[in-house]
Structure 1
Amino acid sequence: MKLTVLGASGGTGREVVRQALAAGHEVTAVVRSGARSAADGGRGRLAVTTVEDVTDPAALGPVVRGRDALLFCPGLESPRSPGRLGAVAHALVRAARAAGVRRLLVVSSAPVGPLPPDEGVLGRAVSPVLRAVFKDVYAEAAAMEAELAHSGLDWTVLRPGKLTNRRGKGRYRRRVGGNVPGTGTLARADLARAVLDLLDDPAVRGRTVGLGSARG
């Protein structure tokens, strides 16, 4: 597939690019000015570029046209400015519509969604604290999700727990339409695998998918 990865200079985006190339996809990696994607090689299947203003649909046009899917992997730890993620998502949706690209996957965060009904005692105790401390971060992610929900595109929102740089397990837990109980942490390598696994899965189109580390 021909993929565009926005946020390719971040920890998750870099891993998505690496695994996509290893799987034989053709990748356009959109990075911050002065940054580079960590993925090398790809035998001509990797193009690294910057976009001057990612909140401008016209500026996104060249990296969107002719692609089979768009993957947005923003860093959610500390949004740089209010409304940023919602504005980027709005521009990405408009650019995708103009280019006739329908498939769009976005990485969000588990606390944006409600606790699952089978969440444990610890999760129920910790969740309100996290939501209070990082309320601005989750508000940004919620605005981004809202843009997708009203886009009319074949979108999927992935909601992992706290991301780590640990070695991936090569597997993960998932729940379509809700968070997994005891979400905990998830290696970026496993998140990237989930992103690519779900590209062609019709069951997750127009749905949120909760992700957690595999147990055992």
Structure 2
Amino acid sequence: MLTFRILPGTTITVFGATGGTGREVVSQALAQNYRVTVLVRDETRFRAALPHLVRNPNLLVIKGRADNKDDVSTAMSIGQDAVINCLGTNTRDKDVTICSRSQRCINDAMVEHHVRRLIVVTSQGLGGTDDQFNPISHLVAKTVMRKYLDDKRLQEKIVTRDAMFLDYTIVRPSTLNDGPLTEHYKVSEGAAKVVSISRADLANFIVGELRAGEWIGGAATVTGYQPRRNTLTFFGPPPSRKVYEPVSEDSSTSSWRSMDG
């Protein structure tokens, strides 16, 4: 099995599959022939949101909570190759610590069941990615979104704390919308202007990162594209960086390969 590049045909677990980003990740992963396990609290709600997928033979739905260690362990115990965590704040319950609480359970279950590959969705505004925020965005981050970002910040610390056990990628999206899939967005390391991105495009990056593994051990800021008059469109892979590449499918060791050419 390829440790760092999770190819179609392998099995992934998606947390937060009932949310907008999670639904897009599940849909696109299934379309690319991944086997997908989801852990959801409300199975009826999930199936109603994705009625065209409920009979897909590559989809396994498990009822449970992402902040319950036994439920998470059950979802992880059936031969998973990777985990994608799209959990966000539960606005109905006003639960602003769900992301950090769940991440602890997910990390522990991954270590227990020897699953290494992890992609976690947090938020732009963390890790110094707010340098290009306008005054209104700064105000929102410090007031309305403060508790949410504090929990996401703690979630990132929990992920990086277990870096010796996990091949993680942190994804920090800009504000999200329900626009169409364009495959047209910016990926950067660090600060970026706040430009809204569709959940479909965010999912496109996440599923693509499963295959590419170019952001392992790092954090990618993903934003929409804001066209400028008389300029060329930005569209393409993230900036050059060093990534893990397995020596062979049967090898348990890896070597560094430079993407700089």
TM-score norm. by structure 2 comes to 0.74
Change (3 A) 1:41 1:35: closer
Among 180, 205, 214, the alignment partner of 2:216 is: 205
Among 108, 112, 116, the alignment partner of 2:122 is: 108
**How large is the RMSD of aligned CA atoms in angstroms?**
2.0
**Aligned counterparts of 2:214 and 2:178: Cα–Cα separation in 1:** 29
| Paired residue secondary structure (1:205) | coil
Deviation at 1:42, TM superposition (A): 6.6
Which of the pair has more CA radius of gyration? 2
Deviation at 1:203, TM superposition (A): 3.0
Deviation at 1:156, TM superposition (A): 0.8
Pairing 1:99–2:113 present: yes
Count matched residues: 209
Matched residue type, 2:66: V
Partner of 1:214: 225
Q: Is the 8 A contact 1:16 1:192 kept in 2?
A: yes
Change (3 A) 1:42 1:71: farther
**Aligned counterparts of 2:63 and 2:208: Cα–Cα separation in 1:** 26
**Aligned counterparts of 1:61 and 1:115: Cα–Cα separation in 2:** 33
Q: Is the 8 A contact 2:129 2:221 kept in 1?
A: no
Q: Which runs of 5+ in 2 are unaligned?
A: 1-9, 228-261
Among 30, 46, 50, the alignment partner of 2:59 is: 46
Q: How does 1:46-125 map to 2 (within 5 A)?
A: 46-51=59-64, 53-65=65-77, 66-76=79-89, 78=91, 80-115=94-129, 119=132, 123-125=133-135
**Aligned counterparts of 1:22 and 1:136: Cα–Cα separation in 2:** 35
Q: Is the 8 A contact 1:76 1:141 kept in 2?
A: no
Q: Percent identity, aligned pairs only? A: 25
Among 138, 146, 158, the alignment partner of 1:128 is: 138
Deviation at 1:208, TM superposition (A): 0.8
Q: Which runs of 5+ in 1 are unaligned?
A: none
Partner of 1:138: 149
Among 182, 187, 197, the alignment partner of 2:193 is: 182
Deviation at 1:171, TM superposition (A): 2.2
**Aligned counterparts of 1:60 and 1:198: Cα–Cα separation in 2:** 23
**Aligned counterparts of 2:170 and 2:103: Cα–Cα separation in 1:** 12
